[in-house]
């Protein structure tokens, strides 16, 4: 039982390049989230999806797009990467939107040069 | 917007001793959830303990317990009988609906 799987685990990009972070879950959870983690700032919400077919902006959505492909998969896209997007990205899931804890993937470290 | 404050960037504890990590939060809501997550060097976020705001009883999970003071908006984590494996970053989190906010974290060092 893999839980929440993120790919890739590490990526180095040049400024202006694009890339997509993939997230897949086998927990049959309805809600999925993308966070970024920066030193001294904890985790900040980028986008979330309450259920299949819906997505909403979080605290720091600028420069990102998301797609909830189906119930299992939620991808995060950087169309034109900037050095300020260097961070560790976490995908997370929850059984429902309003209750309970989040279950996290292992994180993806992205460096933009 | 709700904010979560962890005022201790770093803490250290002797193995087998007890340590308390502090967390305060700001909210105007009465119904919400609070969590403590542990992040070891592996980077994985691991749930340590959760507390529903409507419950007055403090949550406990083995060596981990919380002191939840709703009126003071305080949610501290107590780790008893500290072990080397407890060394990690600890994040306090607040959740209401789709809004889940994290504190900046406290790095806990455990000395043998």
Mind listing the pLDDT tens digit for each residue in A46-57? 999 988 889 999
- pLDDT band at A101, cuts 50/70/90? confident
Residues of A in contact with B33 (CB under 8 A): 99-101
Average pLDDT, chain B: 94
* Predicted local confidence at residue A40, as pLDDT: 80
Contact B91 A90 (CB under 8 A): no
* Predicted local confidence at residue B96, as pLDDT: 86
| Half-sphere exposure at residue A102, Cβ-oriented, CA atoms within 13 angstroms | 37
Per DSSP, the residues of chain A read ---EEEE-SEEEE-TT--EEEEEEE-S--SEEEEEEE-TTS-EEEEEEESSTT--EE-S--TT-EEEE-SSSBEEEEESS--GGG-EEEEEEEESSSSSS--EE---EEEEE-
Q: What's the start-to-end Cα distance of chain B, in Å?
A: 41
Cis check for the bond before B42: say yes or no (omega within 30 of 0): no
* Predicted local confidence at residue B45, as pLDDT: 93
How far is Cα B108 from Cα B61, in angstroms, rounded to an integer? 18
Name every residue whose Cβ is closer than 8 Å to that of residue A26 and which is 6 or more positions away in sequence: A1, A2, A3, A72
A41 touches chain B (CB under 8 A): yes
Candidates B43, B95, B99; nearest CB to A88: B43
* Predicted local confidence at residue B99, as pLDDT: 77
In chain B, whose CA is at the least distance from the CA of A6? B44
In chain B, whose CA is at the least distance from the CA of A48? B98
Candidates A40, A44, A90; nearest CB to B45: A90
Q: Is A27 exposed, middle or buried (0-12, 13-18, 19+ CB in 10 A)?
A: middle
Query: Angle at CA A57, nearest 5°, toward B75 and A19?
Result: 110
- pLDDT band at B56, cuts 50/70/90? confident
Those of residues 50-89 in B touching chain A at CB distance below 8 A are 50
Q: How far is A61 from chain B (nearest CA, A)?
A: 14
Mean pLDDT to the nearest integer, B31-57: 93
Tell which residue, B106, B26, B107, B15, has the closest CA to residue B74.
B26
Mind listing the pLDDT tens digit for each residue in A7-63? 999 999 999 999 999 999 999 998 999 999 998 888 999 999 988 889 999 999 999
CA B16 to mean position of chain CA atoms: 19
Contact B102 A97 (CB under 8 A): no
In chain A, whose CA is at the least distance from the CA of B43? A106
- pLDDT band at B2, cuts 50/70/90? low
* Predicted local confidence at residue B112, as pLDDT: 95
A92 touches chain B (CB under 8 A): yes
* Predicted local confidence at residue A95, as pLDDT: 82
Burial B30-63 (b: 16+ CB within 10 A, else e): eebbbbbbbbeeebebebbbbbebeeeeebeeee
Mutation pick from A101, A102, A110 vs chain B, by most beta carbons of B within 10 Å, is A101
């Amino acid at each position: 039982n893999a839980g929440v799987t993120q790919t890739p685990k590490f990526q180095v990009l040049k400024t202006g390049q694009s890339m997509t972070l993939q997230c897949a879950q086998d927990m049959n959870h309805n809600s999925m989230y993308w966070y970024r983690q920066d030193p001294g700032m904890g985790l900040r919400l980028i986008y979330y999806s309450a259920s299949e077919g819906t997505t909403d902006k979080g605290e720091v959505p600028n420069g990102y797009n998301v797609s909830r492909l189906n119930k299992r998969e939620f991808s995060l896209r950087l169309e034109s990467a900037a050095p300020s997007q260097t961070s560790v990205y976490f995908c997370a899931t929850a059984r429902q939107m309003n209750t309970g804890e989040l279950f996290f993937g292992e994180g993806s470290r992205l460096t933009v040069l | 917007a709700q904010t979560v404050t962890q005022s201790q960037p770093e803490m250290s504890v002797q193995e087998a001793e007890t340590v308390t990590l502090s967390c305060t939060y700001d909210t105007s809501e009465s119904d919400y959830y609070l969590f403590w997550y542990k992040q070891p060097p592996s980077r994985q976020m691991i749930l340590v303990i959760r507390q529903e705001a409507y419950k007055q009883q403090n949550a406990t999970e083995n060596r981990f317990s919380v002191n939840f003071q709703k009126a003071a908006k305080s949610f501290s984590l107590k780790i008893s009988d500290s072990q080397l494996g407890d060394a990690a970053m600890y994040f306090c989190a607040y959740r209401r609906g789709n809004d889940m906010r994290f504190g900046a974290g406290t790095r806990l060092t455990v000395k043998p």
